DNA sequence: CCTCGGCATGTTAACGTGCACAATTATTTC
DNA sequence: GAAATAATTGTGCACGTTAACATGCCGAGG
């Protein structure tokens, strides 16, 4: 417990010790070129001796830059959001920024606006929003903010810059892959309404079905949780026509796997299951889960890049970055069951292009 | 034609509009009792009209309080740390604090110190460290900081206040429960060395064995990942003497389940498996996992309480809070196999006290 | 020889707020 | 009714930093 002993040294203390003016100390700290090597050395020595740390509040007050970025996140205990936050923090640190978080409990636009305002009150230079846009209410799209805002992970194309995983192409790849295995059609366990991820993944799935002129298949709707996947899985297990299921995330796929197991349906012999997210444990489910992998690290890095670019004055409104996910094939998916023998003949299982881990 | 738009309003602007001095505005903002209702109304009206927001930097500069707390976190994509961060953020917000994060890539004391320094440079009022203490190197114990520090989630009793889950009692309960089911002994899949959670959970397991005078059993060591659990599981499956395994976290338990399934060992008929963490999907594994649940929300709340108390001047050094976890019984655990029939006779399955969800 | 220009350094003035104290006004007391 | 007292409001100043401008120094060029 530090007593209220000698107060923290300030710039003037350093200046006095080094025998210069406080402004010279400031110049050294900010790397001004117009400082003699000799005085620079003296100043650095004084700084080290006193263990001087610049006061970031005072600096922020005068420069009007806090070097702090705000991150608004939703459901941050989920794998995806947590990974994005982590990626963002890594990138921010190496760019010399601090990161301040504000998590939301609810998705309505009002609470998003509140979170942004809260961060703004704290004086952040920019805000990254890791939150799905509610398709109905507009969500982040019309957040007003005096500081730059970028959306991370998802979001509709809009005036707000964004870095997003290409959910459509991921879902497209997963569904095409299943159709390529000879399945007549692919059923879908969708995410909750209001999440853009849900909509986009469903959209990719639909596109794959229609381009292959496959039968329209039923959609089950969940809320991302293993529980909801389980419930969808019970209904899938009861429907003998289902041979392939594409789930909007891995946790729901996990629940589906469990329900199929209970229902006596074998995976992949009877039903193929594919997830989305590539959570770390997906490789160790029973059976190991075929899924779509997203690179959250580059996501964070790109988002930060956009934000920094934005607040460097380069007002690139409407800049959009899409990051393509890739399919990781494991043993939860395989050829369509034998009764669909006609189809199996024309199957080419994409072994070479698949990543197995 | 204002080239750079109208700048943010400041206190003086509000004062001018309301016809008072800036100090009166300040008083209204800080809820000083010595302000007439009439002038208070005028000031509030002016604030709303201008949409005035106090500048937190200026305020922090003069009060020497930033109303920001730093959180140092490690492996924040894991369920436990992510939940603690979330709990902490919730609590901080409702107490009027901002939260700034600094995540670590490595566990060595130097990088912990770096993270704390980084937050300190930013001007946080206090720091919460969500990081396991490396048993060998001392870890957080000897972090020096001019601001209050609390440890969250774990940590050895020390001069630094801490709020922790009682890992020992959780492991003790889990192991006692398995022994009570008639298992001669319980094997353990431990977490990585250097994590205090690992050590404490192992310690609770050992205590339960010794108090029941059970046979000493082998320990397998993992790194929290499903992969490492899988590897331990392969060895467990190969050893016919194992009838019960207590895993130091749910993800490793997940890997163990998978390995047992592959190895043709049935759960719980042949082997009972118990995890630790109560991750959301634990209820939907095959079979549903018996596990130890921790309440991260109260953890965060208590940690914040301690921190706030600390920086209110109440210098309660050495304050320690332990939060007891509870056992959630599901179908991955059951009576010892029949060949251990002698034991089964004296089993009393603790149905009443168990929570099933 | 004087001046001009570039460079190194010092001096002063903000940035926007809270605190200590002074000034003013309202209220009580004898 | 006047003085003492309390309540309310206003006036500088300080917080620690950077920006803008001023100063002094040294060598080059006319």
pLDDT per residue as tens digits for the range A25-46: 999 999 999 999 999 999 999 9
pLDDT per residue as tens digits for the range A168-183: 999 999 999 999 999 9
Q: Name the residue among A282, A227, A276, A215 with its Cα closest to residue A255.
A: A227
Structure confidence at residue A237 (pLDDT): 96
CA closest to C1' of C26 belongs to: B36
Structure confidence at residue B311 (pLDDT): 84
The SS3 call for residue B133 is coil
pLDDT beyond 90 at B17: yes
pLDDT beyond 90 at B25: yes
B65 touches strand C (CB under 7 A): no
DSSP letter (8 states) at residue A286: S
pLDDT per residue as tens digits for the range B123-146: 999 999 987 765 444 555 566 777
pLDDT interval class at B354 (50, 70, 90): very low
Q: Are B73 and B104 in contact (CB under 8 A)?
A: yes
What is the distance in angstroms between the Cα of A86 and the nearest Cα belonging to chain B?
7
Paired tokens of B313: 């001047």
Residue B313, Ramachandran bin (φ over 0: left; ψ between -120 and 50: alpha; else beta): left
B35 CA vs C30 C1’ separation (Å)? 29
Residues 6+ apart with CB under 8 A from A307: A69, A126, A128, A148, A150
Give the mean pLDDT of B78-107: 92
Lookup: nucleotide whose C1' is closest to A21 CA:
C10
Structure confidence at residue B158 (pLDDT): 72
Q: What is the pTM of this model?
A: 0.86
Give the mean pLDDT of B175-204: 94
pLDDT per residue as tens digits for the range A76-104: 888 888 999 999 999 999 999 999 999 99
Give the mean pLDDT of A263-282: 94
Ordered DSSP codes for A49-105: HHT----HHHHHHHHS---EEEEEEESTTSHHHHHHHHHHHHHHHHTT-EEEEEEES
- Which one has a higher pLDDT value, A307 or A142? A307
Would you call B286 and A89 a contact, using CB atoms and an 8 Å cutoff?
Answer: no
CA closest to C1' of C15 belongs to: A62
pLDDT interval class at A255 (50, 70, 90): very high
Give the mean pLDDT of A317-326: 85
Would you call B281 and A77 a contact, using CB atoms and an 8 Å cutoff?
Answer: no
- Most B CBs within 10 A among A278, A284, A331, hence the mutation to make, goes to A284
Would you call B86 and A76 a contact, using CB atoms and an 8 Å cutoff?
Answer: yes
Residues 6+ apart with CB under 8 A from A352: none
- Residue recorded with tokens 């460097």: A312
Number of CB atoms found within 10 A of residue A237's CB: 19
B31 CA vs C23 C1’ separation (Å)? 22
Residues 6+ apart with CB under 8 A from B225: A280, A281, B251, B252, B255
- Which one has a higher pLDDT value, A210 or B217? A210
Which positions of chain C lie under 7 Å from any protein Cβ?
Answer: 7-12, 14-20
Lowest mean pLDDT among B11-25, B66-80, B332-346: B332-346
Number of CB atoms found within 10 A of residue A70's CB: 29
Cα dihedral value B179, B181, B182, B184, nearest 10: -30
For chain B, the residue count is: 357
On chain A, the residues whose CB falls within 8 A of the CB of B317 are 1
Would you call A58 and B61 a contact, using CB atoms and an 8 Å cutoff?
Answer: yes
A39 CA vs C6 C1’ separation (Å)? 19
pLDDT interval class at A58 (50, 70, 90): very high
pLDDT beyond 70 at A137: no
Structure confidence at residue B355 (pLDDT): 43
Q: Are A256 and A189 in contact (CB under 8 A)?
A: yes
Structure confidence at residue B3 (pLDDT): 39
Helix axes B22-29, B37-50, angle to 10 degrees: 90
* Least CB–CB distance from B103: residue in A86, A122, A284: A86
Structure confidence at residue A135 (pLDDT): 46
The SS3 call for residue B48 is helix
Would you call B99 and A101 a contact, using CB atoms and an 8 Å cutoff?
Answer: yes
Residues within a 7 A CB radius of strand D: A 7-8, 10-12, 22-23, 26, 29-30, 52, 54-55, 58-59, 61-63; B 19-24, 27, 33-36, 38-39, 58, 61-62
Would you call A254 and B285 a contact, using CB atoms and an 8 Å cutoff?
Answer: yes
B11 CA vs C25 C1’ separation (Å)? 24
Structure confidence at residue B346 (pLDDT): 42
| Alpha carbons within 13 A on the beta-carbon side of B5 | 3
Structure confidence at residue B140 (pLDDT): 58
Structure confidence at residue B340 (pLDDT): 45
What Rg value do the Cα atoms of chain B yield, rounded?
26
Structure confidence at residue A106 (pLDDT): 83
A60 CA vs D26 C1’ separation (Å)? 37
């Amino acid at each position: 417990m530090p007593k209220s002993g000698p107060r923290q040294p300030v710039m003037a203390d350093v200046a006095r010790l080094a025998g210069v003016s406080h402004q010279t100390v400031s110049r050294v700290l900010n790397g001004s070129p117009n400082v003699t090597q000799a005085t620079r050395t003296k100043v650095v020595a004084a700084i080290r001796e006193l263990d001087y740390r610049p006061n970031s509040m005072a600096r922020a007050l005068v420069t009007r830059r806090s070097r702090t970025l705000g991150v608004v996140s939703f459901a941050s205990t989920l794998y995806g959001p947590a990974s994005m936050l982590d990626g963002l923090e890594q990138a921010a640190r190496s760019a010399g920024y601090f990161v301040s978080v504000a998590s939301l409990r609810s998705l309505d636009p009002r609470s998003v606006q509140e979170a942004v305002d809260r961060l703004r009150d704290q004086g952040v230079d920019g805000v990254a929003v890791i939150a799905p846009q509610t398709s109905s209410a507009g969500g982040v799209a019309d957040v007003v903010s005096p500081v730059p805002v970028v959306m991370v992970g998802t979001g509709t194309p809009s005036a707000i810059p964004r870095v997003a995983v290409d959910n459509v192409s991921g879902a497209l790849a997963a569904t095409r892959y299943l159709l390529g295995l000879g399945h007549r059609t692919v059923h879908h366990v969708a995410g909750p309404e209001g999440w853009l991820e849900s909509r986009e993944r469903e959209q990719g799935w639909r596109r794959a079905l229609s381009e292959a002129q496959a039968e329209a298949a039923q959609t089950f709707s969940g809320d991302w949780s293993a529980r909801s996947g389980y419930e969808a899985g019970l209904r899938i297990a009861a429907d003998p026509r289902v041979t392939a299921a594409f789930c909007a995330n891995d946790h729901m796929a996990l629940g589906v796997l469990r329900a199929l197991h209970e229902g006596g349906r074998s995976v992949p012999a009877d039903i193929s299951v594919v997830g989305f997210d590539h959570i770390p444990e997906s490789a160790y489910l029973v059976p190991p889960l075929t899924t779509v992998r997203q690179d959250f690290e580059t996501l964070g890095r790109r988002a930060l890049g956009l934000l920094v670019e934005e607040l460097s004055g380069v007002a690139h409104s409407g800049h959009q970055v899409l990051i393509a996910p890739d399919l990781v094939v494991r043993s939860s998916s395989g050829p369509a069951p034998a009764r669909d023998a006609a189809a199996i003949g024309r199957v080419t299982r994409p072994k070479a292009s698949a990543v197995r881990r």
